[in-house]
């Protein structure tokens, strides 16, 4: 196993003890789904490894339990429609990991952990479609870099999750790969946002232990907020984009979606770091700690300086209940020992927001991706995609519009203006952080709770696109509470480049102080 996956010092003793303990069961066997010895609902990575050590579950038992839940709650029951395809080799992979365990060996820090992967990550053994029927049956030549890292660390790619087609929509998760919408498990008439809504719904409903999403403007943090998850959009360059079907490559990034900050940090440990296939990540050299879990400090708010960006959270149309949750969250920060500056302001905000921040370079980026699929690629250009007429009606017009941006996007005036404006925003945010000596900025991830399915007219409240993607700065969302006692809302924290350790410390302390996370009733009741 590559040295990059040397186990963190706090993990190694426990897992080695587990390997030396009585094997968890006969080869290829495990407690049946629903066995009282171990319940996968809300199970954490640490809890799973403890259960393995105690002989209460095997990797095969985990796979069977999660697959049972997918069958009961995704295919039937509430029929969340979150899973695009289940890995038919998941059981065999689990058996091989159990054999390693019995031999006293570990594959890595995610040994036996079933993971849900968004369907725009390349997987060499499963089709990768980006939610589009145009790519049905398209199996890439190799794994995305992050997927390969997960497998090398011992994770099991259990399933690929549904997504908004081509990752276009931050508002809903619907495409042409699967019929119908993905539903929010907390309210089956509501959206899980987009485009990583399938991963969000699946992880929230305990169809897997953790998940991978991608984020161009919103799509890790928004769906995580809508489903009471922790989602991390890392610093641009911390995680590789190699093998991820692009939307706008200069804003795209992949990262973890999990039920706890600790689990998100463990996944980030595995996927972070330089990749020669994505030169931007070479900037991460020397900036990745031995383990992000070292920053899981329950007293991590003490001494922090946090600024409240009311320029976002005071938007017209914001839900009053979300504002109340924000005010309650600020009190938690203060009680935890943080100095809260409320409000703080980014200079030139209105002028920056009135100018473009995104270059619509999909034409170039999707053509470049399709070229990596080799001679078996079902289509080769954006023009081919449009010509198939297989796209979902919700994206057809946008495909045509994006085709109007030249493949040589750098010649496009809109792209030049977006680049200059993003630079201005980057400097303005840094100036604010420096001027007030802030560790982070906070604001609601969305100003409004999850919308009703099919509603694209009411205020959406998406706050995720304005700062983190254009600047490349890291941001995460952590559960902030509930509206109407059943609709999740999230608190977003944004920091300087490479400040993931600080954000993880703050978010973990907030999570421990509030314990807002709870499982959805739709997938926990008979």
Residues carrying an active site annotation: 118, 195, 219
Structural element, H or E, at residue 212: strand 210-214
Q: What is the dihedral of CA 359, 363, 367, 369, to 10 degrees?
A: 40
Placement of tokens 């919700």 in the chain? 394
Report whether the peptide linkage leading into residue 343 is cis, meaning its omega lies within 30 degrees of zero. yes
Q: Which two tokens stand for residue 499?
A: 């400040």
In DSSP terms, 306 is beta-bridged to: 340, 440
470 Cβ contact partners less than 8 Å away, ≥ 6 residues apart: 251, 357, 358, 418, 421, 422, 425, 426
Angle between helices 12-20 and 45-53 in degrees, nearest 10: 30
Angle between helices 362-371 and 393-403 in degrees, nearest 10: 100
How far is residue 66's CA from residue 204's CA, in Å, rounded to a whole number? 12
State how far Cα 210 lies from the chain centre.
9
How far is residue 451's CA from residue 444's CA, in Å, rounded to a whole number? 16
How far is residue 404's CA from residue 266's CA, in Å, rounded to a whole number? 42
What's the order of all strands across the beta sheet hosting 339-341?
83-86, 156-161, 114-118, 210-214, 254-258, 230-233, 475-483, 487-494, 440-444, 305-308, 339-341
């Amino acid at each position: 196993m590559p040295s990059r996956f040397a186990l963190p010092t706090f993990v190694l003793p426990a897992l080695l003890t587990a390997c030396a303990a009585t094997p968890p069961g006969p080869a290829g066997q495990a407690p049946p789904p629903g066995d009282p010895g171990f319940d996968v609902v809300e199970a954490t990575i640490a809890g799973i490894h403890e259960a393995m050590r105690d002989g209460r579950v095997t990797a095969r038992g985990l796979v069977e339990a999660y697959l049972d839940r997918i069958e009961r709650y995704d295919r039937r029951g509430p029929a969340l429609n979150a899973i695009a395809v289940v890995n038919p080799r998941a059981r065999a992979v689990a058996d091989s990991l159990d054999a390693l365990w019995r031999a006293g060996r570990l594959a890595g820090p995610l040994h036996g952990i079933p993971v849900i992967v968004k369907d725009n990550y390349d997987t060499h053994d499963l089709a990768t479609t980006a939610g589009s029927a145009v790519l049905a049956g398209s199996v890439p030549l190799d794994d995305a870099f992050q997927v390969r890292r997960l497998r090398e660390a011992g994770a099991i790619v259990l399933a690929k999750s549904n997504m908004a087609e081509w990752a276009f929509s931050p508002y809903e998760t619907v495409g042409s790969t699967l019929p119908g919408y993905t539903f929010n498990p907390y309210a089956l008439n509501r959206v899980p946002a987009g485009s990583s809504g399938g991963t969000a719904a699946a992880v929230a409903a305990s169809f897997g232990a953790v998940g991978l999403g991608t984020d161009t403007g919103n799509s890790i943090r928004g769906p995580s907020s809508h489903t009471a998850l922790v989602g991390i959009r890392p610093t641009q360059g911390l995680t590789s984009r190699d093998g991820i079907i692009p939307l706008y490559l200069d804003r795209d990034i992949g990262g973890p979606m999990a039920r706890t900050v600790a689990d998100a940090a463990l996944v980030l440990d595995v996927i972070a770091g330089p990749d020669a296939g994505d030169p931007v990540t070479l900037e991460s050299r020397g900036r990745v700690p031995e383990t992000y879990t070292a920053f899981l400090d329950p007293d991590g708010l003490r001494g922090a300086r946090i600024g409240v960006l009311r320029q976002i959270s005071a938007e017209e149309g914001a839900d009053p209940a979300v504002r109340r949750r924000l005010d309650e969250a600020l009190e938690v920060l203060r009680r935890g020992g943080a100095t809260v500056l409320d409000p703080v302001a980014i200079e030139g905000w209105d002028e920056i927001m009135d100018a473009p921040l995104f270059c619509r370079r999909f034409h170039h980026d999707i053509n470049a991706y399709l070229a990596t699929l080799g001679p078996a690629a079902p289509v080769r250009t954006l023009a081919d995609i449009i010509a198939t007429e297989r796209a979902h009606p919700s994206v057809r017009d946008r495909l045509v519009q994006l085709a109007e941006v030249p493949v040589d996007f750098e010649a496009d005036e809109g792209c030049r203006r977006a680049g200059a404006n993003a630079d201005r925003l980057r400097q303005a945010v840094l100036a604010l952080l420096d001027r007030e000596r802030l560790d982070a900025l906070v604001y609601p991830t969305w100003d409004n709770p999850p919308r009703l399915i099919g509603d694209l007219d009411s205020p959406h409240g998406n706050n995720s696109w304005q700062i983190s993607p254009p600047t490349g700065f890291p941001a995460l969302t952590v559960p902030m509470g509930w509206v109407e006692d059943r609709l999740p809302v999230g608190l977003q924290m944004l920091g300087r480049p490479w400040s993931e350790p600080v954000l993880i410390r703050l978010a973990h302390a907030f999570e421990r102080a509030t314990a807002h996370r709870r499982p959805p009733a739709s997938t926990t009741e008979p």
